[in-house]
Structure 1
Amino acid sequence: MKAETDFDKAEKLYNQKKYSEAKVLFESFLKENPNNYKSIEYLGDIAGHQKDWNEAIKEYKILKNQFPKTANYWYKYGGALGMKAKSVNKFKALGMIDEIESSFLMASKLDLKHIDSRWALVMLYIELPGIVGGSESKAIKYSNELMNLSKVDGYLSKGFIDEYFKRFTKAEMNYKAAHEIGNSKITFQKLYNLYLNKIKDKFKAQKLKEQFEK
């Protein structure tokens, strides 16, 4: 039986959400094994959990430069940049948009089945003002790609777009379709929140909740 390495211990701590303790062990393991890229990814993920976006960006940048054909590293890098953009002033955030967008686009091109990067593009194009590249038609393009990959994600993303533009009747249809297929906590939550907070129909919300809890 091989001795448990710092990496194994760190991974266990990470899975228990003991991020600070895991970080110390991953860092010490990395000193001995500087090319252990899985440790670098974990350190990026830990930084993300701790909302240390600069650190997350640094770790993911190493990975995407080292493995430029791995979609998930581009996606994680773009995601960390996006979260940082939300935490800085608007002017600074504007300067980051191109890199965020190109990272998600790269991930979606490298892996034609990468669901998360397509979701990220839908949200990016919907939430960005038109003046800096926001576009409903671009969002719909990636929503359609999601529909081909996963019906649940397709309907959820269409519902998200409709809800954003206050087209609540259409959003309800899309969220309902997603919930009928997925019947998951996520699909329930989307439809329930729409009923409760947007359509303001407490009766529908309550009825949905009772059905879901059965």
Structure 2
Amino acid sequence: MKKLVFLFLFVPICIWSQSNFEKGEKLFHAKKYKDAEVVFELNLKYYPNDIKTLERLGEITSEEKQWEKASVYYKKLTQLKPNEADYFYKYGGCLGMKAMEVNKFKAMGLVGDMKSAFEKAIALNPKHLPARWALIELYLQLPGIAGGSESKALKYANELAKLSPVDGYLSKGRIDEYFERYDSAEKNYVKGHEIGNSKITFQKLYNLYLKKLKEPKKAQELKQKFES
């Protein structure tokens, strides 16, 4: 009898949860993020460990640049699914964006968790390219006293080169560009573009010509060639 009562109580809740999630999904795909967020948050009250709901809330709050809330959702996802590399990468990314909005003292307090999250993503997925890009940027932006280092950034650029030649050249070009070695950056971007010939490789080289080397003619020639 008790099992029967439980069944009558449990089934309607499951149906309500499923229909509520589907409602949130429709709003999400219609890019009505605020409305979708309300629905998913309500669903989370009843099912606080629902992976799909947490994922959607992480995506929505990231889209809305609510980095504090997004980091909470992704941190919980790392706890619920500790073998999922992307959750650690996204958690670290949210912390990084949050660090850009707070004062330097608070930002430095986030660095350790950021590094750990990106490194964990790589440990779980040795071929994780975005996590290596994130660490390169982190080591470039950090002051030396806080652990910033060109050699550490270059270490991950070399790892990228082994996994993806295009990413290897682009990341080394990024390092050169950061330290204003523009001629060397150009060589790396040119090699990357020759291999990749993508919108990303084009944009890196185009921006370098236009904004850093101040060579609009080269930029225009590159654009015409790429578009043709």
Same fold? TM cut 0.5 = yes
Alignment partner of 2:191 out of 167, 177, 194 = 177
- Tell me how far 1:213 sits from its aligned partner: 1.3
Shift of the 16–161 alpha-carbon distance from structure 1 to 2, 3 Å rule, reads farther
- Tell me how far 1:169 sits from its aligned partner: 1.0
Corresponding residue for 2:223?
209
Corresponding residue for 1:191?
205
Report Cα offsets for 1:140-161 as digits up to 9, x if no partner. Answer: 1111111122222111111110
Corresponding residue for 1:48?
62
Alignment partner of 1:156 out of 156, 170, 182 = 170
Q: Please say which structure displays the higher CA radius of gyration.
A: 2
Report Cα offsets for 1:89-142 as digits up to 9, x if no partner. Answer: 011111111111111111111110111111100110111111100111111111
Residue 136 (structure 1) aligned with residue 150 (structure 2): yes
Alignment partner of 1:58 out of 46, 54, 72 = 72
Residue 10 (structure 1) aligned with residue 24 (structure 2): yes
Question: In structure 1, what is the Cα distance between the partners aligned to 2:145 and 2:82?
Answer: 30
* Aligned-residue identity in percent: 58
Task: Give 1:141's aligned amino acid.
Answer: K
Correspondence list, 1:93-108, <5 A: 93-108=107-122
Tell me if structure 1 keeps the 8 A contact 2:166–2:193: yes
Aligned length: 213
- Tell me how far 1:83 sits from its aligned partner: 0.8
Question: In structure 1, what is the Cα distance between the partners aligned to 2:111 and 2:184?
Answer: 29
Shift of the 54–185 alpha-carbon distance from structure 1 to 2, 3 Å rule, reads same
Q: What residue ranges of structure 1 are gaps of 5+ in the alignment?
A: none
Tell me if structure 1 keeps the 8 A contact 2:49–2:80: no
- Tell me how far 1:32 sits from its aligned partner: 4.4
Look up the SS of the partner of 1:95 in the other structure: helix
Residue 24 (structure 1) aligned with residue 73 (structure 2): no
Corresponding residue for 2:160?
146
Q: Which moved more, 1:79-88 or 1:149-158?
A: 149-158
Task: Give 1:112's aligned amino acid.
Answer: P
- Tell me how far 1:26 sits from its aligned partner: 2.1
Corresponding residue for 2:12?
none
TM-score (norm 2): 0.87
Question: In structure 1, what is the Cα distance between the partners aligned to 2:105 and 2:88?
Answer: 24
- Tell me how far 1:41 sits from its aligned partner: 1.3
CA RMSD of superposed structures (Å): 1.8
Question: In structure 2, what is the Cα distance between the partners aligned to 1:16 and 1:30?
Answer: 21
Look up the SS of the partner of 2:148 in the other structure: coil
Question: In structure 2, what is the Cα distance between the partners aligned to 1:176 and 1:147?
Answer: 15
- Tell me how far 1:65 sits from its aligned partner: 1.3
- Tell me how far 1:79 sits from its aligned partner: 0.8
Q: What residue ranges of structure 2 are gaps of 5+ in the alignment?
A: 1-14
Question: In structure 2, what is the Cα distance between the partners aligned to 1:166 and 1:129?
Answer: 16
Q: Which moved more, 1:28-37 or 1:160-169?
A: 28-37
